Amino acid sequence: NISNSDGLKEAIAQFKDVTNITDVLERFMSDLIHEGEERARMLCPKDTGMLEAGITSTLKSAKYTVTGSVICESDHAAFVEFGTGVVGANAPYPGDMGTYKRDVPSPKKDVTGGWRYLGDDGQFHYTHGHVPNPFMFQTAEYMKMIAPQIAKGIMNNDKQE
């Protein structure tokens, strides 16, 4: 969530004297989520391609309100993002994980916290989990950073027209 970031506040300040604010905000948000979607695709692991295929963006607009999002709808996106098992629980995550728990007790786990799973290759594999790969967190941080530049670019284009 980048809605309270300094970068987004700075970007919105660029639009203070705009009369067609909804149109300008739509262009801003469209450009921002496009860049975010591209960054998420670049950062996500490419193992099976399922994560990359699950990355989408949405833009919604109503009078004076424009919202956009970049998400990964893959079933295992949270496991990759936050990590899993004892390995993930012992590795730091750079952001807020909300209610996500990485090392959840399960009757499928052995005494060391490991478990077996059936892989895409049809074979059983043993794991203790994996460390976080925060590709969506990194995408959000990138979007916060580039928001002011996108806003300035839109305002400069409007002044030239």
Q: Give burial (CB, 10 Å; 0-12/13-18/19+) of 96.
A: exposed
- Give the max Cα distance, the chain: 68
**To the nearest 10°, the Cα dihedral for 70, 4, 152, 145?**
-70
For the chain, helix, strand, coil in percent to 5 are: 45, 15, 40
Q: What is the pTM of this model?
A: 0.85
Tokens encoding 129? 């989990």
Tokens encoding 36? 């975010």
Q: What pLDDT was estimated at residue 156?
A: 83
pLDDT, tens digit, 9 for 90 and up, residues 75-119: 999 999 999 999 999 999 999 988 888 877 788 888 888 999 888
